[in-house]
Amino acid sequence: MMSSKQNRNGDGMNGKKMEEELVEVGDYFLEKDEEEEDDEEVSDVEECCLDGRSVGSDNSDRPDRSLDGGGVYMLGRRYIDMDDFLLKRQYESSLFWFTYRKDFAEMAPYGITSDAGWGCMLRAAQMLLSHALRRHYRGPAWRPPLPLKARRAEVFASALLTWMADAAHPSCAYSIHRMVAAGLPLKMLPGEWYGPTTAAHVIAALTSGHLDHSKQLTTHVASHGALCKHALHSLMGPDVLASQDSLSHPLQITNAQYPPPTRWDTALLLILPLRLGLSSFDHKNYSTTLAHTFSLPQSLGFLGGSPRHALWFYAAKADGSTLYGLDPHTVQAAPSLSPSLSHHHRPIHLSDDYLRSVHTTKPAVMDVTKLDPSLALAFYCQDHADFTNLCTSLQNLNDSCTKQNKPI
Chain mean pLDDT for the chain: 80
Measured distance CA(286)–CA(276) in Å, rounded: 7
Determine which of 29-33, 90-94, 224-228, 231-235 has the lowest per-residue pLDDT on average. Answer: 29-33
Q: If you average pLDDT over residues 30-48, what whole number do you get? A: 39
* 3-state SS assignment for residue 159: helix
Measured distance CA(297)–CA(140) in Å, rounded: 9
Q: Alpha carbon of 78 to those of 201, 281, 352: distances in Å?
A: 30, 24, 33
Q: If you average pLDDT over residues 223-251, what whole number do you get? A: 63
Q: What is the pTM of this model?
A: 0.81
CB 212 within 8 A of CB 320: no
Is the per-residue pLDDT at 7 higher than 90? no
CB 339 within 8 A of CB 33: no
Q: If you average pLDDT over residues 319-342, what whole number do you get? A: 90
Res 3: pLDDT: 45
Res 58: pLDDT: 35
Burial class (CB in 10 A: 0-12, 13-18, 19+), 401: buried
Tell me the pLDDT tens digit for each residue of 250-285: 455 545 555 555 578 789 999 999 999 999 999 999
Tell me the pLDDT tens digit for each residue of 149-169: 999 999 999 999 999 999 888
Res 238: pLDDT: 59
Q: If you average pLDDT over residues 342-356, what whole number do you get? A: 82
Strands 309-317 and 299-306, by their bridges, are antiparallel
Q: Which span out of 126-130, 305-309, 344-348 was modeled with the highest average pLDDT?
A: 126-130
Determine which of 186-190, 199-203, 230-234 has the lowest per-residue pLDDT on average. Answer: 230-234
* 3-state SS assignment for residue 201: helix
Q: Identify which has the larger pLDDT, 193 or 44.
A: 193
